[in-house]
Amino acid sequence: MPSAQHLHTWQNDHEDLAFLLASKGDPARAAGEFSKLSRTFLNRADYALYAGAAYVASGHQAEAAPYFLAASRQLGDSVVRRAGASLVKEARMRAKAIAESSQPNHSPR
């Protein structure tokens, strides 16, 4: 059994990574990190909500369902629907903006 300090460090490291991946437009990998956090910290509905939203944003709706269900148990359906939709929209916009900014600029000469 890991010590409380080790678990806290693990949590912080994975949370930082999950948010970094999300901010860099990689919802699929962010979903993986948030899902690890959600499965480890069952009392953290926010991790489940973020995992579900990241899975949807990366095109994996089926994988999102159990995380949205877990979040709904603690936060309620209406909160999860509203917040989840907002998070998905934001993640998709961020991923699109990053993808567009990484493409070479082909301006006419």
pLDDT in tens, 3-40: 999 999 999 999 999 999 999 999 999 999 999 999 99
* Predicted local confidence at residue 53, as pLDDT: 96
Across 45-50, average pLDDT: 97
Whether pLDDT at 104 is above 90:
no
Contacts of 17 (CB under 8 A, 6+ apart): 33
Per the model's pLDDT, the better-predicted residue between 52 and 106 turns out to be: 52
